[in-house]
């Protein structure tokens, strides 16, 4: 079942309501002050949790991208940063190997930008 996030402006309280789509009403009552005016829906927070709430089973995975998305959802932020560093550290560090005598490094030309 989907969850809907709200914010009560009077008591500055964030709260969540879990209900089916057919039972959803745009106006909700705050659990702290029992008022329904000055209660606003937090659409941004709902969008952030939308991707995390939809999980595919093994039989529903159709592409490698689906598998990668499912596996990254299971990772912590530290694991994601370590994986990013593992795959991108070599791009940031220029090679400092010593070249044979009489040779020099060639600088790559910049790629041309295609007109849009």
Spell out the domain ranges in the chain: 1-54, 55-91
**pLDDT attached to residue 78:** 92
Give the pLDDT of residue 63.
87
pLDDT tens string 19-63: 887 888 777 888 888 878 888 888 777 766 655 555 666 777 788
Q: Collapsing DSSP states into helix, strand and coil, what is residue 4?
A: strand
99 Cβ contact partners less than 8 Å away, ≥ 6 residues apart: 105
CA 71 to chain centre: 13
pLDDT digits (tens, 9 = 90+) for 56-69: 667 777 888 888 88
Phi, then psi, of 81 in degrees rounded to 5 = -65, -40
Give the tens place of pLDDT for each residue, 66-95: 888 878 878 888 998 998 888 887 776 666
Pick the CATH number of 1-54 from 1.10.533, 1.20.120, 1.10.1060, 2.20.28: 2.20.28
Burial group, residue 46, by CB count within 10 angstroms (0-12, 13-18, 19+): middle
Contacts (Cβ under 8 Å, ≥6 apart) of 31: 13, 15
């Amino acid at each position: 079942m989907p969850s809907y996030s709200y914010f009560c402006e009077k008591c500055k309280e964030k709260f969540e309501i879990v209900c089916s789509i057919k039972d959803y009403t745009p106006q909700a009552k705050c659990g702290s002050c029992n008022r329904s005016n000055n209660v606003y829906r937090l659409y941004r927070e709902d969008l952030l949790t939308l991707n995390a709430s939809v999980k595919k089973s093994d039989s529903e995975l159709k592409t490698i991208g689906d598998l990668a998305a499912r596996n990254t959802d299971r990772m912590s932020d530290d694991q994601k940063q370590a994986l990013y560093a593992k795959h991108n550290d070599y791009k940031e560090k220029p090679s400092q190997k010593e070249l044979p005598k009489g040779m020099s490094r060639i600088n790559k030309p910049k790629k041309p930008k295609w007109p849009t």
